[in-house]
Amino acid sequence: AAVVQQQVRERLGIRERLRENDVQALQLLSKSLVAELRYEIFQPHLLSHALFRLWNSIDYHTVKRLCGSTIDQSFLVMNEELFIASSTTGRAYYLIEGTLEYAKKLLDVPDQGSSHVEPGC
């Protein structure tokens, strides 16, 4: 119970980031204009990766469509889980700020170590 209370206190103190769905005016824009806007938002992050730089130079329109329909943002607070051990996901994650720690924490198994991930990975 103490751990639950501590996490609630920590998260109540965190200022929420504005999300795309919170901006009602964006719902009024055409899909093509939203795609252009999302491309401008995500482009600096995507183009920091060599694969996306190459893809963008070959086919800008496909990368623009990717930004418009596929990419989403997730904001995590410290010690929040992105995914759970032994679960699967149909997504790829690209870290643009902060650090991530992969840690295996299986029941009844001693600490199995962890790996740190830096932005751009």
- Boundaries of domain holding 103: 76-121
Q: Are residues 85 and 54 in the same domain?
A: no
Instruction: Evaluate whether residue 8 is within a structural domain.
Output: no
Predicted pLDDT at 11:
66
Which amino acid does the sequence have at 96? Answer: I
Predicted pLDDT at 120:
65
Give the Cβ contact number of residue 94 at 10 Å. Answer: 14
Q: Are residues 120 and 82 in the same domain?
A: yes
Instruction: Evaluate whether residue 4 is within a structural domain.
Output: no
Residue indicated by tokens 């204009």: 33
pLDDT in tens, 2-28: 777 777 767 666 666 677 777 888 889
* Strand pairing class (114-117; 100-103): antiparallel
Q: Are residues 70 and 84 in the same domain?
A: no
* Residues in the chain, pLDDT under 70: 9, 11-17, 104-117, 120-121
* Separation between Cα atoms, residue 112 and residue 78, nearest integer Å: 21
Backbone angles phi, psi at 111, to 5 degrees: -45, 125
Q: Are residues 51 and 61 in the same domain?
A: yes
